[in-house]
Amino acid sequence: MRDKERKRKKTKNPWSAKKKIIVILSSLLGVILLGLLGAAGYSYYVYSRMDNVQIDREEVLNDTGKKEEYSNIINIALFGVDRGEDDGGEGGLHGLSDAIMILTINEDTKQLKISSIMRDTYVNIPTHGDDIINTAMLAGGPELMLKTINTNFDLDIDKFIGVNLESLPKIIDKLGGLDINVDSEEVPLVNGLVRSINERTSNNSSGITSAGMQHLNGTQATAYARIRHTDGNDFKRTQRQRTVITLIANKLSAMSVDDLNSFVLEGLPIVQTNLTYAEVVSIGTKVLSIGTGNILQNRFPNDGDHWSSTVNGGYRLNIDKEATTEKMHKFIYE
Q: Span 83-99, mean pLDDT?
A: 58
The pLDDT assigned to 22 comes to 29
Residue range 19-41: average pLDDT?
A: 38
Summary count for the chain: helices (H), strands (E): 13, 13
Helix 40-48 and helix 277-290, axial crossing angle in degrees, nearest 10: 110
Instruction: Calculate mean pLDDT across residues 266-294.
Output: 76
- Is the pLDDT higher at 161 or at 132? 132
What is residue 60's predicted lDDT score, i.e. its pLDDT?
93
Is 93 a residue whose pLDDT tops 80?
no
Q: In Å, how far are 6, 34, 39, 41, 49 from 276, measured between CA atoms?
A: 34, 12, 17, 15, 13
pTM of the model: 0.72
Quote the Cα angle for 164-290-161, to 5°. 15
Average pLDDT over residues 131-138: 94
Angle of helix 218-226 relative to helix 187-201, nearest 10 degrees, comes to 120
Average pLDDT, the chain: 77
Q: Are 26 and 271 in contact (CB under 8 A)?
A: yes
Cα–Cα distance for residue pair 227/9, rounded to 1 Å: 21
For the chain, the structural domain boundaries read 3-166+254-333
Rounded-to-integer distance, Cα 240 and Cα 234, Å: 10
Q: Could you tell me which CATH number the domain at 3-166+254-333 has?
A: 3.30.420.590
Least confident range from 13-22, 109-118, 137-146, 187-196: namely 13-22
